[in-house]
Amino acid sequence: RHESEANLLGVVYDERGAMTAAPYEVVEDSHWVFEDTGLKKGDVFGRECQHQRIPGGASGHETDKISKSSPTNTLLLARGMNAGDGGANMTLHEPGNGGAVFSSGSICWVSSLLVDEGVSHITANVLKRFLEE
């Protein structure tokens, strides 16, 4: 099939931000992903990261973003603060039939799980919700 991965995942790789790293800024704080995190719109999280090659935050190394191929119901939850509009888009896409796709949009996300409270709490919220359904 010749179609953008954004059709399925909600996001697609974007070379802006490659080999950079930064924290995220909350965009949609009322979403369940942020439940019990204490994070509000405009707050910054994902400052801590163990990525040795590209330090600087949870949004980085390579980043994915919403594109013109993304389904209209792809919800932007947070945005990486990488220079040059290179930050990852943290999104949730619910294609229907009970399915959902959460994307951190970033390779560095995993390197922040053990050291950043916001990243670890958001990840726990997503896993708990997905395991319930």
* Digit-coded pLDDT (tens) for 30-76: 999 999 999 999 999 999 999 988 889 999 999 999 999 999 999 99
Question: How far is it, in rounded angstroms, from Cα 14 to Cα 77?
Answer: 18
pTM of the complete model: 0.93
Question: How far is it, in rounded angstroms, from Cα 89 to Cα 107?
Answer: 12
Report residue 50 as tokens: 């163990």
* Digit-coded pLDDT (tens) for 76-103: 999 999 999 999 999 999 887 888 999 9
Q: How far apart are the first and last CA of the chain?
A: 29
> Quick check: 1 pLDDT over 70?
no
Strand pairing class (44-45; 24-26): antiparallel
